[in-house]
Copies of this chain bind each other. A is one copy, B any other.
């Protein structure tokens, strides 16, 4: 039966995350963003992370027996929205660490969990990162290109009982701040990347493993993307996550079912800008009446709310599908993530218009939301790849999916 009621646990967690976001993140968001301009690698608010850890937020993705909540996709989305509506970069960090802890919890061996997740749970500042994108391969990985010349190049060669990794990653989320890494390497250079890549677990302090430059981004500063440089990094066989050449296998795919989570980037960012604009429009008196009584402003707000509610609806359905395998459609996930990008761009720009010229300055929060919204353009897939995936999936379907 169709139902839109959240569970008690979802409501409880939502309350905690919302409170944390408003009380801890909101006061520091503008300053962190400003710091990132001069020091992209040094702007991360470690105290806020520690406070989150104390509340159990950092480790929500862990299995319940390890103290986490083993977040399902919908709950993940609901909680993520709350952070995104305040500090999208920090929210994106949560997203990474939640799903990666869960990923290791689900597919890791007992030994791997002991070696990685137990220290992760105990260290209030420990984050997890995954390195996939390389300078020459982005879309080739996500809209898989079948030529052996494309996709991941970072080489992984077996020597004795160990894998030796050499290569470079970039745009790696949380790389600057993380201590645990999953690195995807090409274990079979003669197969197309989707069948010849493997995930390796690596501690940051492994010899030969080095964090390169932190990227200086126009938004989402606290996601702390950086380069990874691997020079003869030796990884024991026991740190292969799932099997060799299974880096993009079906087994890894539940990880790919996170598109509704990624869609939440756009939803939350849009909501943040919307809420700021709504308050401003209610509180600002212009020509003797609140700005919101101006028809053009009221209609802009209506359009913004419309896109936000539409996006939330699409995300919820996609997330529900992701949590209920028999109803899962990759297309639904792509729909939500494509649409959320449209939503974020439009809502944030509308919000900026409501603020007028002030909206173009950093004194008010909307220009930051607009910059942060750019994160939605290229997380997992570019916008156009999402569209293409949806389009190509339609040939079998002459009736609607619902």
Contacts and interface: CB of A to CB of B under 8 A. Distances in A.
A265 to B, nearest CB: 29
Contacts of A296: 295-296, 299
Interface in A117-132: none
Contacts of A294: 295
A273 to B, nearest CB: 22
Contacts of A295: 294-296
Contacts of A299: 296
Interface string A296-330: 10010000000000000000000000000000000
Interface residues of A, number: 4
Interface in A200-255: none
Nearest to A296: B295
Nearest to A299: B296
A294 B296 CA distance: 10
Nearest to A297: B295
A317 B152 CA distance: 47
Nearest to A295: B295
Interface string A277-294: 000000000000000001
A292 to B, nearest CB: 14
A281 to B, nearest CB: 15
A299 B299 CA distance: 12
A218 to B, nearest CB: 24
Nearest to A298: B296
A294 B299 CA distance: 13
A299 B296 CA distance: 9
Interface in A260-285: none
A87 to B, nearest CB: 35
A299 B297 CA distance: 12
A219 to B, nearest CB: 28
A253 to B, nearest CB: 33
Interface in A344-383: none
A294 B294 CA distance: 11
A287 to B, nearest CB: 13
A353 to B, nearest CB: 13
A295 B298 CA distance: 12
A388 to B, nearest CB: 14
A79 to B, nearest CB: 38
A286 to B, nearest CB: 14
A221 B151 CA distance: 54
A140 B377 CA distance: 35
A299 B294 CA distance: 13
A347 to B, nearest CB: 19
A296 B294 CA distance: 10
A296 B298 CA distance: 11
A295 B294 CA distance: 9
Nearest to A294: B295
Interface in A33-86: none
A385 B385 CA distance: 20
A291 to B, nearest CB: 13
A302 to B, nearest CB: 11
A174 B275 CA distance: 57
A50 B294 CA distance: 54
A155 to B, nearest CB: 34
A393 to B, nearest CB: 20
A72 to B, nearest CB: 40
A296 to B, nearest CB: 6
A298 to B, nearest CB: 10
Q: Which 5 A-B pairs have the closest CB atoms?
A: A295-B295, A295-B296, A296-B299, A296-B296, A294-B295
5 contacts: A294-B295, A295-B295, A295-B296, A296-B296, A296-B299
